Structure 1
Amino acid sequence: MNWLLVIVGAAVGAPLRYLTDRTVQSRHDTVFPWGTFTANVAGCLTLGLITGGVVAGGVDSHVQLLLGTGLCGALSTYSTLSYETLRLTEEGARFFAAANAAASIVAGLGAAFTGAALAQSIWA
């Protein structure tokens, strides 16, 4: 049963990631991968909120499988972050490559901590 929750969450997360990427990127005329950045930070915030909710006892572990592992696992993607950073480096956009790597790590961790803190304030 647990694997089915992960599959259902991922079936929603993957198209959501694609649509988020395309929608956000279409609004920016730059080589910086704002679409992937947005999807990754949103996934980190959501995962922090869900995980914090589970730790606080306000969210069921099945919800964590569905939304945390499934949805967030498919929504956020380290492989695309890595690929786009490599692509920027190869195209000579080294500043954007470094900014992408650094900002993604800082914003992703910040979003996860914010989500966990928000969950604690809601369910603790």
Structure 2
Amino acid sequence: MQLGLLLAVGIGGFVGAILRFSISNWVNSLSSSSFPFGTLCVNVLGSFVIGFLFLYFQQVNLSVYQKSLLITGLLGALTTFSTFSLDTVLLMQAELYVKALSNVLLNVALSIGATLLGMIIFKRLYL
């Protein structure tokens, strides 16, 4: 593997992790609920951005370094399946089953919807 590619992913991951930490904590601070709104927010946001970028990358000539920095690095670190999974298990262990199920359904439905919305917005703006 090329060092430049590893650095691109690492830089994107650094920025994405800081964004995830900041956005998630900020969103969670807005609510006193035990529901993990911060994780939901970063997952939906990242899904929107990946939908938008997927079509953008088909229109512009970016290097594999730029694409890897944005998709694998930045969005890979911004979104978080592992935290989503842990949040769900913790809600179940606390016997908050409705919140656990809501977390699963909202993360899946809103993330898929946000990806589609990102693609629709790109098409309306640029195609």
Letter in structure 2 aligned against 1:60: L
**2:42 matched to 1:39?**
yes
- Give the 3-state SS of the residue equivalent to 1:30 in structure 2: coil
Letter in structure 1 aligned against 2:78: L
Evaluate the alpha carbon distance shift between residue 59 and residue 43 of structure 1 in structure 2; reply closer, same or farther with a 3 A threshold.
farther
Evaluate the alpha carbon distance shift between residue 63 and residue 118 of structure 1 in structure 2; reply closer, same or farther with a 3 A threshold.
farther
Q: Mapping of 1:1-124 within 5 angstroms?
A: 1-55=4-58, 57-58=59-60, 60-61=62-63, 62-124=65-127
Q: TM-score, normalised by structure 1?
A: 0.92
Evaluate the alpha carbon distance shift between residue 20 and residue 59 of structure 1 in structure 2; reply closer, same or farther with a 3 A threshold.
farther
Gaps of 5+ in 1: none
Offset, 1:58: 3.0
Asked if 2 retains the 8 angstrom alpha-carbon contact of 1:20 and 1:35, the reply is yes
Deviations 1:26-84 (A, max 9, x none): 110101000111011111111111111112x1362443211111111000000100110
- Give the 3-state SS of the residue equivalent to 2:34 in structure 1: coil
- Give the 3-state SS of the residue equivalent to 2:105 in structure 1: helix
- Give the 3-state SS of the residue equivalent to 1:29 in structure 2: coil
Gaps of 5+ in 2: none
CA distance in 1 between partners of 2:16 and 2:61 (Å):
19
Aligned residues: 123
Structural RMSD (CA)? 1.3
CA distance in 2 between partners of 1:117 and 1:69 (Å):
22
CA distance in 1 between partners of 2:47 and 2:107 (Å):
10
